[in-house]
Amino acid sequence: MVGVRIESFPTGPLACNCSIVMDEESKQAVVIDPGGDFPLIQEKLRLLGAEVCNIVHTHTHIDHVGATAPLQESSGAPARIHEEDRFLYEMLPVQAAMLGMPQPPTCEIHGDLFDEQAVNVGGLEVGVLHTPGHTPGSVSFVIDTPNGKVLFAGDTLFRRSIGRTDLWGGDHPLILRSISERLLTLDGDTRVITGHGPETTVGEEIAQNPFVGGR
């Protein structure tokens, strides 16, 4: 198993957690949810010596795609979402107006993430799980590291909470099903990096997340 370096840090006005996942040997990296603060992302990449070969998104709310276009332009890497979220990319002006945020620059987006896919990043495989509910095209990413599995849950699962479902295409029963059937079935010691706020583990959320049966 290849060594993996993970850097997660909040970006943009809504503090979306952006993650850089790098194969330590080849230095090839995927950026998950470049939500904003492009100069900060650039600096982290430079310090790691990372070469971005994929840009992927857990979903397509404006706070998760704010720095996608400049990152795509500077790296030449494809920017990818699940096709069922494409309508959200096309309505970024509406999202910006609703949140009173400036509209971010846009770029070509590939709607080619799909369930059970493995996205290759150097010697690393990033697994894709379609976990709809927060948005129709919400996905979670899973990687195997020498220290166990790591899940990037986007706004589907938070520490002791879950994603809102009152926005475009949100579906509360569906997010509950995605979480219980696709995420909480992972190993209990799986580290969970969430879309906003602190990280957690699958086991902790099974025991303590009040939205999915914990206390």
| Nearer to Zn ion (CB atom), residue 61 or residue 191 | 61
For position 82 contacting Zn ion by CB under 5 A, the verdict is no
For position 155 contacting Zn ion by CB under 5 A, the verdict is yes
Which one of 63, 84, 85, 205 is in contact with Zn ion (CB under 5 A)?
Answer: 63
Minimum CB separation from Zn ion for residue 76, in Å? 26
Per-residue tokens: 42: 């650039």
- Footprint (CB under 5 A) of Zn ion, residues 175-214: 195
| Nearer to Zn ion (CB atom), residue 17 or residue 72 | 17
Minimum CB separation from Zn ion for residue 199, in Å? 15
| Nearer to Zn ion (CB atom), residue 63 or residue 85 | 63
Q: Where does this chain bind Zn ion (CB under 5 A)?
A: 61, 63, 155, 195
